[in-house]
Amino acid sequence: MDRNILNQSNQPTQPTRRDLLAGLAALGAGSLASKGALFGQPGPPPAVPDVHAIDCHNHFASPAYIKALMAKDGKHNAGYTTWFSLQTWKGYSPAKVIEDLDRQGTQTAMLSCTTPGAWFGNPPETKAMVREMNEYGAKMVSDYKGRFGLFALLPLPTIDDSLKEIEYVFDVLKADGIGLMSSHDLHWHGDVIFRPVFDELNRRGAIVYTHPIDSPCCQDIQPGVSPPTIEYNTDTARTIFSLIVGDAATRYSNIKFIFSHGGGTMPSLIERFGVGGPDTINDNLAKAAEPNSRLYHLRRFFYDTAQSPNIVQMLGLKTIAGINQIVFGSDYPFGAGMARHLIGLQKAGFTADELKLIHRENALRILPRFKA
């Protein structure tokens, strides 16, 4: 198999990509209170205390990236890219983000790319798109000291290009970590095809933030139900499981993984993750995990709060992973905004001291440069 790209037979068909984009459009449209609601926030955000939160799930898009997506309108899904660019990203600028951070209790935004990412089946296009986005993000970090961090893109599924980009983003751009989609062409993080990339990230002790993508394996529940409704969280659970089901999580023990949306459906599937049966799982969750066991790795991974600051998901995460592994995330500029996430967390069963850990202190353990 060519080391530089996955076997072409494993690439999704054109309808799968169209479905992916259609699903995202439907999901995003549903999150907008009205067609004119900027950044998907239903009206002005409520006032919240300035907790100097670190938002580990905050998306960015360069003008060139938005233009590239607009050029795909009609080729992948009519209307998708128009909505994506003109609705969600309309008016986006670094200065606008800073304004929203200041109004919504947040000190630092860790920038990352969201779905659909940069892979559309063309390696040179992906390579160029990734490099431009990474340089744009790095400039935001440089121009606004202490307000932004960068989880850089990689041109996966191309392996050699990704290895070269790892060197560039860490050694030249000084990125804080890497941001990946949860899967690529039916391959998840634990797949051996990605081993050279994760081995290098492990050697560097890198942060790897993961954002879901609706996997082409399981879409179209029924007409009118967008794939991301279920697939986002489920594909996150798939990629987590792919790491712990074999030796990948142990092999990549130096990588600090952050998973979006409260770990997706992982908490509700915990018994199926092999950490205990009906008669033993509660006992196992109540005691220390065996080294390098599945539960051990679930407890060393980090999980953000984006679109998940509800008592069911949060207390499930607290039970499985512990309070020290939960970091703040808002999904900006999608969803309800940072302020509403902070308010939701206040009602999710946490103590004041636990909220301080989630807002900032847990992230600082792996992002110490933002302590100042």
The pLDDT tens digits of the residues spanning 278-294 come to 999 999 999 999 999 99
Please tell me the least confidently modeled range out of 91-95, 196-200, 318-322.
91-95
pLDDT above 60 for 309:
yes
- Residue 217 is predicted with a pLDDT of 66
Mean pLDDT over the full length of the chain: 86
**Residues forming a β-bridge with 302:** 258
In angstroms, the CA 148 to CA 313 distance is 27
Please tell me the predicted confidence (pLDDT) of residue 215: 65
The reported pLDDT for the residue numbered 4 is 52
Question: What local confidence, expressed as pLDDT, does residue 204 receive?
Answer: 98
Q: What is the DSSP string of 206-247?
A: -EEEEE----TTS--SSTT--THHHHHHHHHHHHHHHHHSSS
CA dihedral of residues 31, 180, 186, 10 (deg, nearest 10) = 120
Tell me the β-bridge partners of 58. Answer: 111, 332
105 or 50, which is more confident?
A: 105
pTM of the predicted model as reported, rounded to 2 decimal places: 0.87
Instruction: Check residue 5 and give its pLDDT.
Output: 55
Tell me which of 334 and 11 has the higher pLDDT: 334
Question: In this predicted structure, what is the pLDDT of residue 89?
Answer: 82
pLDDT in tens, 63-116: 999 888 888 764 544 334 444 444 778 889 999 999 999 999 999 999 999 988
Lowest mean pLDDT among 187-191, 219-223, 258-262, 288-292: 219-223
Determine the 3-state secondary structure of 262 from DSSP. helix
Whole-angstrom distance, CA of residue 143 vs CA of residue 65: 20
Peptide bond into 157 cis (omega under 30): yes
Q: How many angstroms separate the CA atoms of 244 and 355, rounded?
A: 28
| Residue 124 token pair | 């040179």
By C-alpha distance, which of 154, 111, 157 is closest to 136?
111
Residue that wins the pLDDT comparison between 352 and 31: 352
- Residue 283 or 9, more confident: 283
Outline where 74-184 has alpha helix (H): 80-83, 94-103, 123-143, 159-171
Read off the pLDDT of each residue in 29-39 and give the average, rounded to a whole number. Answer: 34
115 within 8 A of 210, measured Cβ to Cβ: no
Q: How would residue 328 be classed by pLDDT, with cut points 50, 70 and 90? A: very high
Q: With cut-offs at 50, 70 and 90, classify the pLDDT of residue 225.
A: confident
The pLDDT, as a whole number, for residue 336 is: 87
